[in-house]
């Protein structure tokens, strides 16, 4: 009888040991499965983000228009007249930036005013610009007794009363976010907000793109076109 009891005890012990091993495997399997889910989730998010960037507007085939002006201290400067266009962001000497990507170098996150300046052999960084004439303008010169700062102001061409977004850093990478914007590249004192592009720039924008409905802003600058 004792011998049978011992056999049963051994069998129960063996069964318990087997159960314990399965439990350990289950306990180990859960965190591994959880880690796999996390890794897959992160990968999917990264893939989706890269996909959005690759297809972000403006896309190949889009044709946007942005009115622009260059303002130095208290004076508007002339238009860019060089129409060179390697990638699809250009001007026709009309005071407009035409955003019409031919390739990925001028689409999505690469559709920037830096690309516009580079297209005609110019440049823009956080302190200076180079125009198609070869002239380089650098911030810091005196304007009414104060040093100038290079700023880029982004306006909505369809709502000119709205306060602009004023940017002072990363100017080469300032993106075009939608059709019918307006941009002023300005050298002004720290406390001065760049003005709207000249009124005739908006008039021409409305001629080129009829969706650019005038906001009736009677305070738009009216200086002579350059």
Cα–Cα distance for residue pair 115/50, rounded to 1 Å? 21
Cα–Cα distance for residue pair 68/98, rounded to 1 Å? 10
- Terminal Cα distance for the chain, rounded: 114
Classify burial at 171, counting beta carbons within 10 Å of its beta carbon; exposed 0-12, middle 13-18, buried 19 or more: buried
Residue pair 182/196 in contact (Cβ under 8 Å)? The answer is: yes
CA 101 from chain center: how many Å? 15
Cα–Cα distance for residue pair 160/84, rounded to 1 Å? 30
Q: What percent of the chain has pLDDT over 90?
A: 65
**What is the arithmetic mean of pLDDT over 132-155?**
98
List the single range of 8-22, 60-74, 119-133, 180-194 with lowest mean pLDDT.
8-22
**What is the arithmetic mean of pLDDT over 19-30?**
56
Residue 146 CB coordination number (10 Å):
13
Mean pLDDT computed over every residue of the chain: 82
**58 cis-preceded (ω within 30 degrees of 0):** yes
Classify burial at 28, counting beta carbons within 10 Å of its beta carbon; exposed 0-12, middle 13-18, buried 19 or more: exposed
126: tokens are: 């956080």
Please list the helix, strand and coil fractions of the chain in percent, rounded to the nearest 5, in that order.
Answer: 35, 25, 40
Q: What is the pLDDT of residue 7?
A: 55
The pTM score is: 0.72
- Residue 93 sits at φ, ψ, to 5 deg, of 70, 25
Instruction: Indicate the pairing of strand 165-167 with strand 146-156.
Output: antiparallel
Confidence of residue 5 (pLDDT cuts 50, 70, 90): low
| Domain boundaries defined on the chain | 1-54, 64-208
């Amino acid at each position: 009888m004792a011998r049978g009891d011992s056999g049963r005890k051994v069998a129960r012990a063996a069964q318990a040991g087997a159960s314990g091993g399965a439990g350990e495997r289950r306990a180990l399997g859960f965190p591994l499965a959880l880690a796999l889910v996390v890794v897959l989730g992160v990968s999917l998010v990264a893939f989706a983000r890269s996909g959005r960037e690759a297809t972000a507007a403006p896309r190949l085939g889009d044709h946007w228009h942005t009115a622009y002006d260059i303002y130095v201290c208290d004076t508007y400067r002339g238009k860019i007249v060089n129409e060179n266009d390697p990638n699809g962001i250009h001007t026709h000497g009309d005071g407009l930036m035409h955003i019409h990507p031919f390739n990925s170098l001028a689409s999505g996150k690469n559709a920037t005013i830096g690309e516009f300046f580079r297209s005609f052999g110019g440049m823009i960084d956080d302190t200076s610009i180079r125009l198609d004439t070869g002239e380089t303008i650098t911030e810091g010169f005196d304007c009414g007794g104060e040093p100038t700062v290079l700023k880029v102001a982004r306006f909505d061409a369809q709502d000119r009363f709205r306060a602009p977004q004023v940017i002072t850093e990363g100017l080469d990478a300032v993106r075009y976010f939608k059709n019918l914007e307006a941009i002023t590249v300005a050298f002004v004192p720290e406390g001065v907000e760049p003005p709207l592009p000249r009124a005739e720039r908006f008039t021409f924008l409305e001629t080129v793109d009829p969706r650019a409905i005038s906001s009736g802003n009677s305070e738009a600058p009216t200086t002579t076109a350059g």
